[in-house]
Amino acid sequence: MIRRLCVDECVGATGNLSPPMSNKAKKTSNRLTVLFVNSNKLAPGLYGDGNNLFLSVRPSGSRSWVFRFRERGGNRIRDMGLGTAGPDGVPLQAARDRAVALRADLRAGRDPIADKKAAAAALEAPQKTFGDYAINDWLPVYAMGFKNPRSAKELKRVLEINAAPLFSLALDAIGKPEVLSVLTPIWTTKAKTARELRARLETILQAATPQHRLGENPLARQP
């Protein structure tokens, strides 16, 4: 029988894998060891490492990391999975680092489970294409500054003709090779159009960041 830990205190009997400690000597964090986590002698239950991090061992012997926290403004205890544990799972130190980051989110008033669900939903949602964003989202707002209504139609036509290869691409999939593929063919034959197109593409990609794309703008000018 080994020590079993609950949310706040260590309870239960002790054995070879977990030597007894006095209340004063108990560690508040980093209680577990790699050897302990990987042991095949663990009884089913929750084993606390501190900082809201727990090793969950099932009757089958499989194990996983759990971040357990109290719901803000209430008494409900919630569990958030942090991946499998054991020799082939998430390393102990990586789980600890994640727990520390999640505690910081809690202190900032954020709900880590809600954030996780939102991130998963964003990955599953269809990504907006360059054409959809440029024509339906960006252009109507950008054209509000035009004095001549025909200017918006002309810009739309320029994009549809010269940036056509980008229209079906997800915004987050557009990098330097993609923009060069539309700029290079006209750079020497239609220099003025190429310069204007480059400026428009830079503006569109910047406007789409970070809501629809991540990372640096491939057309951003270096300081």
pTM of the predicted structure, to 2 decimals: 0.49
Average pLDDT, the chain: 83
Reported as a single tens digit per residue, the pLDDT across 3-22 is 333 333 332 223 333 333 34
Those residues whose C-beta lies under 8 Å from the C-beta of residue 167, and which sit 6 or more positions away, are: 129, 130, 131, 134, 160
Indicate left, alpha or beta for 30 from its phi (over 0: left) and psi (-120 to 50: alpha).
left
CB 156 within 8 A of CB 140: no
Reported as a single tens digit per residue, the pLDDT across 112-163 is 888 888 777 666 656 889 999 999 999 999 999 888 889 999 999 999 999 9
CA distance 141 to 33: 57
Residue 223: per-residue pLDDT: 53
